[in-house]
Structure 1
Amino acid sequence: MEKKMTSGEMAKKAGVSQKAIRLYDEKGLLKPTEYSEGNYRLYDAAALQILEKIVALKQIGFSLEEIRDNLKSGEASDIKSALEIQLQKMEEKKYQLEKITDAIKRTLARKDDLDWDDVAGIVQYVNADQSADERHWDALKHTSGELDWYVRIFRSLEIKEGSRVLDLGCGYAKLWRNNWTEIPKGTKITGYDIHGSWADDFAKFIPENKETLPEDVSIELEFEDLEDEKTWQKIDATGEYDVVVAHYLDSEIKDIEAIVAHASSVVSEDGYFSLNGANVAKWNKYFKEAIEAVGVDASFIDEKIAKQTEKRNQYIAMMEKYFARVESVILPNVWHYTEAGEIVEKMKDYYKDQEKAIVRYEDKLLSYFKDKIEKDGEFALETGSQFWHCYKK
């Protein structure tokens, strides 16, 4: 007959306290094999193996709730799966910690007289950066094989040698980083952004990589608030620019029309202003087809299209107030999906106000997309992003 162990003996063998074993019992992770006549907990060798798994999983960061779920589902017996699951979660935590650490450093470097508004600012920067990064990595994942997005944007600008370029809200500056050695000779680039943004990182990147720039290319950064009139007085004093860029500012600037108006005053007669936003997305077309195919009312998508169309028309009218000619530039892209679940998650994210409704018929949508993927090998969405090139004549 197998000799049973007391909780004290178990604790000693596993290197934990008796209090921990009692806690694991209370949480439903480790139940005694039996009880002695004096009502003491007793455990067998199998229980010791479970305890060792608990200790190991806890040591590498699993919560007690996660350990309990793993034990119940049997996942903890699959060491490779357990480690892969935890690695993914720890990578996510590491990513978040890096963002917070970086935001705090930027805030501390910017000023000595701090208040609680600065703490709120840190949260804002972290959320904005994380949201941008998530969109970027999502795009990289599903557009692999396509030409780099910022290379496409760069080429669409057709910058000529010796041009003066003003980049409003340059941020991390992928437009320049991803085309570093392709910038035309003699180009003079001036970027504007605020401290506490990813432009701080670009400020370090420039001197570290200056030697690899093409002949006579210069890039300078100015840390000023574009919503401050004094900033525009400073920009006006620098003369005219051949190309003025204001990309991905729509959600960051309170008054985008003020940016358009100011930009019109510093663009040269033969130059142009490049702005993006107010896209009527092709996502709507694909998602409407899917929703109608599973027999669900897709009128909310028609409403979204109507709102996007109205915003686009307002954008055009706004730009035509300050420029004689406004040209639409559509940059095409193809998103490739091989997992039906990822497409449905994209739908939930795109129609956030309809997420609960989408969940109700999620199974039907998953089946629809699985059939498409099985038939064609993937689900490809041909999309396009709207850019506007504005000219004075």
Structure 2
Amino acid sequence: MKENEKMTSGEIAKKAGVSQKAIRLYDEKGLLKPSEYSEGNYRLYDKEALLVLEKIIALKQIGYSLEEIKDHILNDNSEDILASLNNQIELMEAKRYELEKSVTRIKAVLARTDGEPDWDDVSDILKSMQVDQNKDSGHFFALDHTKDDIDWYVKLYRYVEVNKGERVLDLGCGFSKIWRNNWKDIPEDVKVDAYDIPGSWADDFDKFIESNKNDLAKNTEIDLKFENLEEEATWQGIEKNEKYSMILAHYMIDDIKDKESFIAHAAAVLDDNGYFSLNAYGNVPMTHFDFWYEVFNEVGIKTNVIDAVVKEEQKVHDECVSVLSKYFEKIDERIVPCTFTFSGIDDVENIFVDLEKLLRDKKFVEDNKAKLQEYFEKKLVDGKVKIPHDGGFWRLSH
């Protein structure tokens, strides 16, 4: 192309490999203005316009919206470009993760319905998978904010105290980080019966066991069984086995429809000298609320929303104790300490995400965001913000 040669919209579109409709759209959005117009009022473009068009196409291919592209073309500062590309990497990684989750959900539907799903099955399975994946996302969030601390599942493993010769029943094992992250620390002669449904994160744990079973201590076995813990037939099979010295049901009770029946079944297969570790069942530690009481008082925000959540949590707690006391003589509440560390101004938004989850009131957080943002930005300039995230567990025994 000669230096001063002009192209019609059809010609520039052909050179760039896009449609004429795209050229018109970019013109309407203010991204690609014609260099001039012909006597017949046709758009004409020069070599410089072709370079701009190629830039638009390149940015679109890596996920930028037309509005974002317009900003980049008008503001060509190299520092802004670097920051923007790094931000784009984060956004695209997040999108990729969401796509991977969607693929996993579809595969789970097919696996759990033997390839013959109906829409009721699809709906129920997708809800279950969403819960599973949200827990996984929550663990990644936790990992990102506990980098300076011991891994949560290492802490949890130490808390449950697996001893030599232990016979363990792991209910709703899922991805099984409590075993994966402590694989070589599991003592000798331990037998773990782990249960979950097919198509869950346990599918991956099944592969992990096969690949790493030779690294387990002498006579230690982990047997993964794909069965539904909401079905009586599953429990009838479990009850035929020797009773268990330890039963774990971590992060799964919310998925169980008949919670009391589940607890009764677990109690029936627990050894007289064993214990049942259960969480996420009305035992939320107060340490997290205490932190926010202190912040709200310091900032000058009324604590009535926290009061309401604490009151509701206490009501649920008491109802759960009432159920547990039917099946266990000893009901202990245990705390596993954990602290989330937030650092840098960019982490302020994650603090708000954390608060929203605790209070379950997005509007309240938004209404008070300005005061809280100013408070935390000052704190983060000076150093780090540490927020308690202790885990509450029931330790139940006969």
> What TM-score do you get using the length of structure 1 for normalisation?
0.91
What's the CA shift string for 1:102-144, capped at 9, x where partnerless? 2333333441332223432453244223311221011001011
Structure 2: which amino acid aligns with 1:114? P
Instruction: Decide which of 28, 31, 51 is 2:30's aligned counterpart.
Output: 28
Structure 2: which amino acid aligns with 1:345? V
2 CA distance for matches of 1:347 and 1:72?
Answer: 37
1 CA distance for matches of 2:125 and 2:322?
Answer: 36
Shift of the 273–65 alpha-carbon distance from structure 1 to 2, 3 Å rule, reads same
What is the CA RMSD across the aligned residues, in angstroms? 2.4
Structure 1 position 344 matched with structure 2 position 346: no
Q: What SS does the aligned partner of 1:31 have?
A: coil
**Structure 2 unmatched ranges of 5 or more:** none
2 CA distance for matches of 1:77 and 1:18?
Answer: 33
Structure 1 position 253 matched with structure 2 position 260: no
Structure 1 position 132 matched with structure 2 position 131: no
Structure 1 position 359 matched with structure 2 position 366: yes
2 CA distance for matches of 1:23 and 1:75?
Answer: 25
- Corresponding position of 1:169: 172
- Corresponding position of 1:244: 247
Shift of the 159–8 alpha-carbon distance from structure 1 to 2, 3 Å rule, reads closer
Q: Higher mean Cα deviation, 92-101 or 44-53?
A: 44-53
Q: What SS does the aligned partner of 1:381 have?
A: strand
Instruction: Decide which of 281, 288, 294 is 2:293's aligned counterpart.
Output: 288
Structure 2: which amino acid aligns with 1:142? H
2 CA distance for matches of 1:8 and 1:310?
Answer: 70
Shift of the 7–386 alpha-carbon distance from structure 1 to 2, 3 Å rule, reads same
**Structure 1 unmatched ranges of 5 or more:** none
Q: What SS does the aligned partner of 1:275 have?
A: strand
Shift of the 196–206 alpha-carbon distance from structure 1 to 2, 3 Å rule, reads same
- Corresponding position of 2:51: 49
Structure 2: which amino acid aligns with 1:306? K
Checking the alignment, whether the CA contact within 8 Å between 1:246 and 1:275 is kept in structure 2 is yes
2 CA distance for matches of 1:166 and 1:130?
Answer: 23
Shift of the 76–21 alpha-carbon distance from structure 1 to 2, 3 Å rule, reads farther
Q: What SS does the aligned partner of 1:251 have?
A: helix
What's the CA shift string for 1:27-53, capped at 9, x where partnerless? 332222443332122334543332121
What's the CA shift string for 1:56-86, capped at 9, x where partnerless? 1123333434434544665899543443333
Q: How many residues in Structure 1 have an aligned counterpart in Structure 2? A: 390
Instruction: Decide which of 80, 83, 107 is 2:82's aligned counterpart.
Output: 80
Shift of the 249–239 alpha-carbon distance from structure 1 to 2, 3 Å rule, reads same
Checking the alignment, whether the CA contact within 8 Å between 1:245 and 1:273 is kept in structure 2 is yes
1 CA distance for matches of 2:80 and 2:38?
Answer: 33
Checking the alignment, whether the CA contact within 8 Å between 1:75 and 1:82 is kept in structure 2 is no
Q: What SS does the aligned partner of 2:192 have?
A: strand
- Corresponding position of 1:273: 276
Shift of the 258–95 alpha-carbon distance from structure 1 to 2, 3 Å rule, reads same
What's the CA shift string for 1:276-300, capped at 9, x where partnerless? 1221342222223333333332201
1 CA distance for matches of 2:357 and 2:129?
Answer: 19
User: Aligned-pair distance for 1:244?
Assistant: 0.9
Shift of the 222–9 alpha-carbon distance from structure 1 to 2, 3 Å rule, reads closer
Structure 2: which amino acid aligns with 1:113? E
Matches within 5 A, 1:312-323: 312-323=317-328
Checking the alignment, whether the CA contact within 8 Å between 1:125 and 1:196 is kept in structure 2 is no
Q: Higher mean Cα deviation, 37-46 or 130-139?
A: 37-46
2 CA distance for matches of 1:85 and 1:329?
Answer: 41
- Corresponding position of 1:209: 212
Identity of aligned residues (%): 45
User: Aligned-pair distance for 1:13?
Assistant: 4.4
User: Aligned-pair distance for 1:211?
Assistant: 0.3
Structure 2: which amino acid aligns with 1:194? I
What's the CA shift string for 1:222-262, capped at 9, x where partnerless? 22211112221111111211111111123211222222211
User: Aligned-pair distance for 1:304?
Assistant: 0.5
Structure 2: which amino acid aligns with 1:52? E
1 CA distance for matches of 2:212 and 2:106?
Answer: 26
Checking the alignment, whether the CA contact within 8 Å between 1:103 and 1:125 is kept in structure 2 is no
User: Aligned-pair distance for 1:3?
Assistant: 6.0
> What TM-score do you get using the length of structure 2 for normalisation?
0.90
1 CA distance for matches of 2:109 and 2:78?
Answer: 42
2 CA distance for matches of 1:293 and 1:58?
Answer: 46
User: Aligned-pair distance for 1:15?
Assistant: 3.8
User: Aligned-pair distance for 1:171?
Assistant: 1.0
Q: Higher mean Cα deviation, 139-148 or 382-391?
A: 382-391
Q: Higher mean Cα deviation, 246-255 or 35-44?
A: 35-44
Checking the alignment, whether the CA contact within 8 Å between 1:7 and 1:21 is kept in structure 2 is yes
Structure 2: which amino acid aligns with 1:100? S
Structure 2: which amino acid aligns with 1:255? D
Q: Higher mean Cα deviation, 208-217 or 366-375?
A: 366-375
1 CA distance for matches of 2:58 and 2:78?
Answer: 10
Q: Higher mean Cα deviation, 5-14 or 34-43?
A: 5-14
- Corresponding position of 1:311: 316
Checking the alignment, whether the CA contact within 8 Å between 1:104 and 1:122 is kept in structure 2 is no
What's the CA shift string for 1:157-191, capped at 9, x where partnerless? 12221111111111111111111111121011101
Checking the alignment, whether the CA contact within 8 Å between 1:348 and 1:355 is kept in structure 2 is yes
- Corresponding position of 1:332: 337
2 CA distance for matches of 1:34 and 1:358?
Answer: 52
